[in-house]
């Protein structure tokens, strides 16, 4: 795996993790009484600036992912999508104030260990 290929994978996954955080911020900020009924609430969430920003970020991340796949075997690149679990968990804790507990820290550690093994073997 070349540095440039790894950078594409990392940036793509990081952008997707930021998009997930934007989604959470967007849906959390929609007022409970927004819109009438389920459709109204869905539209209010969909047109939240944070959700729209998250969708745009997903688009950029997807394009970068396509460039990464052009350079790498899918079986090597795809396991690194697991970095998104780590990034989203960290974002949840640091940006959204979600709780940190031993089980989450252990899970993140296991994912990172698995990625190190994949990178070393790949």
Chain segment 55-105, per-residue pLDDT in tens: 999 999 999 999 999 999 898 888 889 899 999 999 999 999 999 899 999
Which CA distances in Å does 60 have to 4, 33, 90? 17, 32, 21
Structural contact between residues 45 and 79, judged by C-beta atoms closer than 8 angstroms: no
List the chain domain ranges: 3-121
Confidence of residue 122 (pLDDT cuts 50, 70, 90): low
Q: Which residues contact 26 (CB under 8 A, 6 or more apart)?
A: 45, 48, 49, 50, 51, 52, 53, 54
Which CA distances in Å does 114 have to 23, 24, 32, 36, 52? 27, 27, 41, 46, 33
This prediction's pTM? 0.84
């Amino acid at each position: 795996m070349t540095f440039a290929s790894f950078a594409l994978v990392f940036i793509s996954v990081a952008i997707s993790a930021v998009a997930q955080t934007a989604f959470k911020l967007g849906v959390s900020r929609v007022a409970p009484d927004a819109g009438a009924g389920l459709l109204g609430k869905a539209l209010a969430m969909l047109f939240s600036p944070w959700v729209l920003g998250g969708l745009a970020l997903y688009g950029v991340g997807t394009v970068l992912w396509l460039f990464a796949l052009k350079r790498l075997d899918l079986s090597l690149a795809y396991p690194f999508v697991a970095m998104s679990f780590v990034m989203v968990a960290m974002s949840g804790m640091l940006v959204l104030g979600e709780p940190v507990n031993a089980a989450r820290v252990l899970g993140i550690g296991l994912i990172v260990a698995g990625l190190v093994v994949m990178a070393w073997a790949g």
